[in-house]
Amino acid sequence: MEPAQLSQAFAGARAMDYRGLSITMPHKVAALALVDEVDETARAIGCINTVVNQNGRLRGANVDGLGALGALRHAGADPTGRRVLMLGSGGAARALAITIGLFAKPAELTILGAIEDELARLARDVAERTGCKVAAEMLTDASLADGLAKAQILLHCTPVGMKPDSERSLVPRDRLHSDLVVFDAVYNHAGLCSSATQPQRVAG
C-alpha cells in the first residue's frame, strides 16, 4: 500500500466495521493521525502497530514492546533491576526501549547504534518519557565488547539477520557469556519457528 492510500484504508475499515487492523512499516507513524485514541505506551513510543475498533472508535496501540517484555518475563529474564544492552536505535529498538523503561525499570539501559542522530534522539526520548537511566554510544567493536561484558540481558533490534543479511550476526559467539540472556527481535522464514524472538540463556 502506498502512504497516500492509508487514509482511504482506514476509512474503508471504519465503513466495513473491521474489528481491528495490523499496521506495518512504513505506516506506523502516519497511522497515529488516523485513529481516535492512542494508548499511553504507543504515545510514548511515537507509533502504532495495532488498531482495535471499539464501537466505532479506533484505538491505536503498540504491542511490540509489551510482547517482548512478556516473553522475557515468561522466560525468567525480567529486565527490572538488570543491566540491559540494546543493539539498534530504529523502530523495534524504540518500542522495546520505551516499553521496558516504562514498565520494567532496568538498573541501566545501554543502547548501541549506527545512526548518530537517531541514537541520540532515542536515548533522549527514553530518558525523558520513562525516567530510565540510559547511556548511548556508537556501535563499535570496543563498545560492543565492553557492553557485552557488563550486560545481563542483550536485546538485538537491528535488521542484521534479516534478508539480505540473514547469515550475519553482529555478536561474535565468543563474546557471549553464561550470565547473559539474549533476545533477538529479528524474524524471517527460518526463524519463525526457531529461537528468533525467544529469549535464550547462553550455555556456559
Residue 191 above 50 pLDDT?
no
pTM of the model: 0.82
DSSP character string of 74-114: HTT---TTSEEEEE--SHHHHHHHHHHHHHT--SEEEEEES
* CATH code 3.40.50.720 region(s) in the chain: 65-195
The whole-angstrom separation of Cα 49 and Cα 194 is 23
Catalytic residue check, 28: yes
Give the domain 65-195 fold: Rossmann fold (3.40.50)
The single residue listed with the C-alpha cell 522466560 is: 75
Residue of 170 and 153 predicted with greater confidence? 153
Among 3.30.450.20, 3.40.470.10, 3.20.20.450, 3.40.50.10860, name the CATH number for the domain at 3-61: 3.40.50.10860
Q: Helix axis angle, 91-103 relative to 64-74, nearest 10°?
A: 60
User: Which pLDDT score, from 0 to 100, does residue 24 have?
Assistant: 86
User: Which pLDDT score, from 0 to 100, does residue 3 have?
Assistant: 74
- The chain-wide mean pLDDT, for the chain, equals 88
Active-site residue, from 28, 105, 150, 163: 28
When pLDDT is averaged across residues 136-150 and rounded to a whole number, the result is: 96
* CATH code 3.40.50.10860 region(s) in the chain: 3-61
User: For the segment 22-77, what is each residue's pLDDT rounded down to a tens digit?
Assistant: 998 789 989 999 999 999 899 999 999 999 999 889 999 999 999 999 999 999 99
